[in-house]
Amino acid sequence: MSDPQDEDDGALFRAAIGAVTPLRKVETPAIEKPRPKPRARMAEQDEAQALGEFARLLHSSAPLEAGDVASYRRDNLPPRMFQRLKRGQYSVQDELDLHGANTVQAEQWLRQFLLEAHDHGHGCVRIIHGKGLQADGGVPVLKNLVDRLLRQRNDVLAFHSAPAAQGGTGAVLVLLAQR
């Protein structure tokens, strides 16, 4: 028969260790407040500066009218690619409809849409801004907003009013730079 003490693991452990001396109590340091998350201050400054420039551009140049064609091409884009965009020969990979949005909403939606399109690697997207026939004073607000904002973005290579079958002067096809 075996000794019951041999079966008690705790007793075996204490016998193997021997006498122990407890450690003196160590005071734990006071818990510090967690540091704030780092902010991208330079990016915030750049965004604020771009918004200021955007507001200046929106009011400084002659606005587009309802039937006007919105068109823009960066110098480094080959003219042949721009001609293909004008004819609607690129496959539209995503679309944003701004109908019913106010200018603040439209700007937020447009910025978010372009970020997501860039993240997904889309090359060509369509933005429907409407012709602005119901706009106050006859100036299509969303059309001008889209025109000015797209001109300011580095990821936009070119844009042009869509062909009649794809929305005409109420929409623009946008050619985006690849990542």
pLDDT tens digits, one per residue of 5-53: 457 888 888 888 888 887 777 777 677 778 778 877 777 777 666 666 5
3-state secondary structure of 138: helix
The structural domains of the chain, ordered by start, are 41-176 (3.30.1370.110)
Q: Specify the DSSP class assigned to residue 59.
A: H
Sheet strands side by side (includes 124-128): 71-73, 156-161, 171-176, 124-128, 94-97
3-state secondary structure of 79: helix
Structure tokens at 60: 């400084």
Contact 98, 146 (CB under 8 A): yes
Model confidence at 83: pLDDT above 80: yes
**pTM score of the predicted model:** 0.64
